[in-house]
């Protein structure tokens, strides 16, 4: 058994090695400018070895994305459930976003790039949209809970989820690499402020 276990562990280590090398390089150069040669070099492995672990470049890409998104959503869920008041749960979503993006600036950019890439969108959407939608449920649930508690307006839940989601995402997309974590956190607070209270002074209309 121990032999099998060791093999398993070694295999996982190799996988992680490749995924990391690929993730870094994809993020730095983009999917199309990253060659399998380069990934192999970064991973200090023979190129054919990549093909031993992954059917194709695209398969490798998918695993890279899967890994990154999983990490993000796990962090998010943990964070949300660590807050007790519903309003704080909402707020924690942008905060988590800010923290994650400042740590993984490139990863998100890379995800956006893929979502926007016509020839890859199909792959990305088919594979990840379901996951993301399921994960976005986390956000939706929080907002729904807030509606139930009459903390926020009874606007269509899908739409406000989408809008809030966009605001969180926008931190990952429209933020220059030079932005510091501190700035990002400030930005997150302002997003919360506006999302919750709006910017108009007299509330009629």
Partner DNA sequence: TATGAATGAGGTTTCATTCAT
Partner DNA sequence: CATGAATGAAACCTCATTCAT
Residue ranges binding DNA (CB under 7 A): 3, 7, 10-11, 14, 33-37, 45-49, 51-53, 55-58
Answer yes or no whether residue 178 interacts with a copy of itself by CB under 8 A: no
**Shortest spacing between CB 30 and DNA, in angstroms:** 11
**Shortest spacing between CB 57 and DNA, in angstroms:** 4
How many whole angstroms separate alpha carbon 59 and alpha carbon 126?
Answer: 13
Q: Which of 126, 148, 182, 194 binds a copy of itself (CB under 8 A)?
A: 194
Q: Which of 153, 178, 184, 185 binds a copy of itself (CB under 8 A)?
A: 153
φ and ψ at residue 179, rounded to 5 degrees: -60, 135
Neighbouring C-beta atoms of residue 201, cutoff 10 Å: 5
Answer yes or no whether residue 87 interacts with a copy of itself by CB under 8 A: yes
Neighbouring C-beta atoms of residue 50, cutoff 10 Å: 21
How many whole angstroms separate alpha carbon 114 and alpha carbon 107?
Answer: 11
Q: Which of 92, 113, 139, 161 binds a copy of itself (CB under 8 A)?
A: 113
How many whole angstroms separate alpha carbon 157 and alpha carbon 170?
Answer: 20
Enumerate residues 121-140 that contact a copy of itself by CB under 8 A. Answer: none
**Shortest spacing between CB 112 and a copy of itself, in angstroms:** 4
**Shortest spacing between CB 153 and DNA, in angstroms:** 48
Nearest to 182 by CA among 107, 109, 111, 101: 101
- From the list 29-37, 47-55, 56-64, 67-75, the region that binds a copy of itself by CB under 8 A is 29-37
Q: If contact means CB under 5 to 8 A according to the sort of partner, which of a copy of itself, DNA, none does residue 113 touch?
A: a copy of itself
User: Which residues, at least 6 apart from 96, have a Cβ–Cβ distance to it below 8 Å?
Assistant: 75, 76, 79, 80
Between the alpha carbon of residue 86 and those of residues 92, 161, 193, the distances in Å are 10, 15, 15
Q: Which strand (E) or helix (H) includes residue 98? A: helix 86-103
Q: Which strand (E) or helix (H) includes residue 13? A: helix 2-29
Q: Which of 27, 50, 61, 139 binds a copy of itself (CB under 8 A)?
A: 27
Q: Summarize as ranges the residues that interact with a copy of itself (CB under 8 A).
A: 27-30, 32-33, 87, 106, 109-110, 112-113, 115-120, 150-153, 155-156, 159-160, 162-163, 165-167, 169-170, 173-174, 187, 190-191, 193-201, 203, 205
């Amino acid at each position: 058994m121990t032999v099998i276990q060791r093999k398993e562990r070694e295999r996982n280590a190799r996988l992680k090695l490749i995924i990391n090398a690929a993730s870094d390089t994809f993020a730095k150069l983009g999917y199309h400018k990253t060659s399998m040669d380069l990934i192999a070099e970064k991973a200090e492995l023979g190129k054919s070895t990549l093909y031993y672990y992954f059917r194709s470049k695209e398969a490798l890409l998918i695993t890279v994305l899967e890994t990154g998104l999983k990490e993000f959503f796990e962090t998010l869920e943990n964070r949300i459930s660590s807050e007790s008041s519903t309003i704080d749960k909402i707020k924690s979503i942008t905060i988590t976003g800010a923290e994650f993006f400042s740590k993984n600036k490139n990863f998100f950019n890379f995800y956006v790039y893929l979502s926007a890439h016509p020839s890859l969108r199909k792959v990305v959407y088919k594979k990840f949209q379901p996951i993301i939608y399921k994960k976005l449920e986390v956000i939706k649930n929080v907002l729904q809970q807030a509606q139930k508690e009459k903390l926020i307006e009874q606007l269509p839940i899908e739409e406000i989820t989408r809008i809030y989601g966009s605001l969180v995402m926008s931190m990952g997309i429209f933020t220059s690499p030079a932005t510091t974590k501190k700035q990002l956190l400030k930005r997150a607070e302002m997003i919360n402020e506006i999302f919750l209270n709006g910017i108009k002074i007299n509330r009629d209309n």
